[in-house]
């Protein structure tokens, strides 16, 4: 809890969250009113978080604009912790650098960004602002990120083979629904769909409940399909062929091998 964190800071046992993984029994026992049983409980709780997926790691960093679903999608492209650091190096490449990649696109126009950033832009739910926030947020936290990578076991993000009528489709859920939002999202995932946290032209469907607000307005302006909860339930339970996908979606995604 906060009280323990304050004690650890006051005792100079920690200066960052990475220092939590350096705590020892002897160090904890130096704290006021800290018995051996309580100290062991603290160490046990810390140990539980030593192993996590790359997606959970990225989300835990508190990067601007990176929610849990987007963190998982980014992690699936990056692969593992070493891939994350390789990407961060490449994401700062300038025109003329080998890591920048091709300077011109197939349309004959110059690329606005290096190929590391372009790889992120291929991910559903990632636009230019989010991609640059991701890069800059990681760069700002790089010493902490490298420290944590050395202390934790960060597992490669498991890529599940999607099956069902919503394969290759992306969904955003907003508004008040009859069930908790996570439950609605899980129905979509179970049917093969992907969940993103924001509306863009690449989005396949916005599932909108009551009081949907700005996301509904943006989806309507972009021509994104909007479903009610009843529409979603009907399609999930239907045995028909997969529904038509938004033609604005991109088919391919860049891989880390393009810029590592």
| CATH code for the domain in which residue 233 is found | 3.40.50.10190
Q: Which of 159, 182, 205 is the last residue of a domain?
A: 159
Question: What is the number of structural domains in the chain?
Answer: 3
pLDDT of residue 55: 95
**Residues 37 and 124 both lie in one domain:** no
Contacts of 168 (CB under 8 A, 6+ apart): 162, 192, 245, 249
Please list the ranges in the chain whose pLDDT falls under 50.
Answer: 239-260
Say if pTM beats, i.e. exceeds, 0.75.
no
Residues 58, 29 contacting (CB under 8 angstroms): no
pLDDT of residue 69: 84
Q: Is residue 260 part of a domain?
A: no
Span 215-239, pLDDT tens digits: 999 999 999 999 999 999 888 887 4
Q: Which residues pair with 208 in a beta bridge?
A: 174
d(CA 24, CA 224) in angstroms, rounded, equals 54
**Residues 59 and 113 both lie in one domain:** yes
Q: Which of 159, 184, 206 is the last residue of a domain?
A: 159
pLDDT of residue 247: 42
For 209, the domain range is 170-237
**Residues 139 and 199 both lie in one domain:** no
pLDDT of residue 98: 92
d(CA 112, CA 172) in angstroms, rounded, equals 27
With vertex at residue 62, the alpha carbon angle to CA 55 and CA 20, rounded to the nearest 5 degrees, is: 85
| Residue among 90, 132, 134 nearest 115 (CA) | 90
pLDDT of residue 36: 96
pLDDT of residue 244: 46
With vertex at residue 216, the alpha carbon angle to CA 215 and CA 218, rounded to the nearest 5 degrees, is: 65
């Amino acid at each position: 809890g906060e009280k323990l964190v304050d004690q650890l800071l006051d005792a100079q046992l920690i200066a960052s969250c990475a220092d939590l993984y350096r705590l020892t029994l002897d160090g904890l026992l130096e704290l006021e009113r800290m018995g051996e049983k309580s100290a062991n409980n603290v160490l046990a709780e810390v140990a539980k978080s030593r192993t996590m997926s790359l997606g959970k790691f990225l989300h835990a960093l508190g990067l601007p604009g990176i929610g849990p679903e987007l963190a998982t999608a980014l992690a699936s492209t990056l692969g593992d912790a070493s891939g994350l650091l390789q990407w961060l190096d490449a994401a700062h490449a300038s025109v003329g650098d080998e890591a920048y990649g091709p300077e011109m696109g197939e349309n004959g126009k110059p690329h606005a960004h290096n190929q590391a950033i372009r790889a992120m832009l291929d991910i559903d739910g990632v636009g230019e602002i989010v991609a640059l926030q991701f890069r800059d947020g990681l760069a700002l936290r790089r010493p902490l990120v490298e420290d944590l990578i050395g202390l934790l076991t960060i597992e490669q993000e498991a890529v599940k083979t999607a099956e069902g009528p919503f394969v290759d489709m992306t969904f955003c859920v907003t508004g008040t629904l009859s069930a908790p939002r996570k439950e609605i999202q899980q129905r979509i995932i179970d049917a093969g769909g992907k969940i993103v946290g924001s509306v863009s032209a690449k989005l396949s469907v916005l599932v909108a409940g009551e009081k949907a607000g700005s996301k509904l307005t943006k989806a309507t302006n972009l021509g994104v399909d909007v479903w009610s909860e009843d529409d979603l339930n009907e399609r999930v339970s239907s045995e028909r062929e997969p529904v038509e996908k938004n033609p604005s979606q991109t088919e391919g995604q860049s891989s880390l091998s393009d810029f590592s």
